Amino acid sequence: MEVCPYCGEEVPEDSSSCWKCGTELSGGGGDGAPTIEQRGKSRDRPVAACPHCNADNVVGALRCNECGRALTAGAQAARWPAAMWTSLGLVTVVTLVALVVAFARGRPAAADPGRDQPLGYAYRDLERIYLKGGGSAARRAALWDAEHRGRFVEWEGVVLGTEPLDRCVLLAESGMATAPQVVLELKDAASLPGLKKDKQIRYSARLDEVRDGRFYLSLGVVLDE
């Protein structure tokens, strides 16, 4: 037996190539040891990765010089479809993420959540609960936080006055009241100039607080005048 000068594996003396790494051998050494055929240095020959352990092997080797498993053209080529599909998958994922981000950025900001589903309570309904109802203040406060705070309503009222600096409209449920029952903060001050005293309006707004005998609403939008 002789030793392959490339991978160190023992090979029969009359072998023309190493059974393990596939290096072509010829008996040209003075000491009788097989040598690599002089068609260029073996380490300059093209190499390909083993499909089993990823170690480099000379192209044409029959077995991997690292793990010893058989190398075939099909086995080495099998890595290319896997790599291709992996790359394609990554490109697809990146493209989808980019499309989702672009779509999200291109959408207009959502309208005030809940405005399109207002509570079916008129002013008088909540007045009976919070302004004229009995029971403890703590119980009413708990009910307000659980059922009404932050919810939208669509109410009607009569303008008693405005506070332009605060974008607020002072409203009463009817023209008979002399003190405001609702303090409405408008979302946009553009409607303020047209809101004259004694004007009847219908509006959409969010319930914020109930105190001092009146309701405080924000994000007010005049629906019709």
H-type helices in 29-166, by residue range?
A: 73-77, 79-106, 123-126, 137-143
Q: What is the mean pLDDT of residues 197-216?
A: 95
Q: What is the pLDDT of residues 71-118, one digit of tens each?
A: 765 444 445 566 666 777 778 888 888 777 666 565 554 589 999 999
Report pLDDT for 42.
44
Q: What is the mean pLDDT of residues 2-16?
A: 72
Report pLDDT for 30.
45
Q: Over 60: is that where the pLDDT of 53 sits? A: yes
Residue 148: name the closest of 215, 49, 200 by CA: 215
Question: What residues does 152 pair with on adjacent strands?
Answer: 206
Domains of the chain by residue range: 1-71, 80-107, 123-224
Report pLDDT for 29.
45
Cβ neighbors of 37 (< 8 A, separation 6 or more) are: 24, 25, 26
Best mean pLDDT range from 32-46, 143-157, 168-182: 143-157
d(CA 17, CA 35): 10
Report pLDDT for 41.
40
Is 96 buried (19+), middle (13-18) or exposed (0-12) by CB count in 10 A?
exposed
Going by their DSSP bridges, the two strands 182-186 and 35-36 should be labelled as: unpaired
Instruction: Tell me the CATH number for domain 123-224.
Output: 2.40.50.110
Residue with tokens 């092997």: 57
Best mean pLDDT range from 90-104, 128-142, 159-173: 159-173
pTM of the entire predicted model: 0.52
pLDDT band (50, 70, 90) for residue 38: very low
